Amino acid sequence: SAVISQKPSRDICQRGTSLTIQCQVDSQVTMMFWYRQQPGQSLTLIATANQGSEATYESGFVIDKFPISRPNLTFSTLTVSNMSPEDSSIYLCSEVRGTDTQYFGPGTRLTVL
Amino acid sequence: QKEVEQNSGPLSVPEGAIASLNCTYSDRGSQSFFWYRQYSGKSPELIMFIYSNGDKEDGRFTAQLNKASQYVSLLIRDSQPSDSATYLCAVREGQNFVFGPGTRLSVLP
């Protein structure tokens, strides 16, 4: 299994501000992902965090709104910028080990007022 | 984007019964299929993966894959109240994973 930590675990933020979420994994991995899970919904992939290069964003997500850093093989951050209430969600990072085994972090529960 | 569909439920079964969860996917080229369990307020955890047509068993869980019908299912035998959770089907597309909406399972004591 994998040990993945995320900080903060939850936060309440004001509209128009930004929040940076940190994700730390316990061993070097090539693939890390960031997902959003809105209340009662499934997981939507935001982007793939690539080490040493820009993240690869999915349709509907842009770098200006969700900048991602991946400075090394064990750490990544996701920033939610200029937040609105529609950004209230759970944000999850994940890593893939071996071919297909994906492990998720505990999530960050974000509420935007 | 390719789609993964599941019945959202809730699916209610009595304790000890077999729970059957179904998933269909649209991309005929998909090769890897996954079932995750998500308890309320927790993150998803991988239960099983399956690559080949047929059945794959792991304890009380059996995954079934039919690529011709683009259908994957999860059977839970001897269901327990602790199995009550949302079950997410996921399909690998290239490097990414596409998740279905999930089926909420309730096992009644």
Task: Please check whether residue A14 is in contact with residue A113, taking contact to mean a CB–CB distance below 8 angstroms.
Answer: yes
Size of interface A-B (CB pairs under 8 A): 41
Q: Please check the confidence at residue B93 and state whether its pLDDT lies above 90.
A: no
B70-79 pLDDT tens trace: 999 999 999 9
Q: Please check the confidence at residue A11 and state whether its pLDDT lies above 90.
A: yes
Closest Cβ opposite residue A105 in set B43, B95, B96:
B43
Task: Please check whether residue B83 is in contact with residue B30, taking contact to mean a CB–CB distance below 8 angstroms.
Answer: no
Q: Please check the confidence at residue B9 and state whether its pLDDT lies above 90.
A: no
Tokens found for residue A37: 């899970």
**Which of A 10-39 lie inside 8 A of B, CB atoms?**
31, 33
Contact with chain A for residue B95, Cβ under 8 A: yes
**Which of A 68-97 lie inside 8 A of B, CB atoms?**
92
List strand residue ranges (DSSP E) for chain A, in order.
4-7, 10-13, 19-25, 31-37, 43-49, 56-57, 68-72, 75-80, 89-97, 101-104, 108-112
Local confidence band at B1 (pLDDT 50, 70, 90 cut-offs): low
Local confidence band at B8 (pLDDT 50, 70, 90 cut-offs): confident
B43-86 pLDDT tens trace: 999 999 999 999 999 999 999 999 999 999 999 999 999 999 99
Phi-psi map region of B83: left, alpha, beta (phi>0 left; psi -120 to 50 alpha): alpha
A31 contacts in chain B (CB < 8 Å): 95
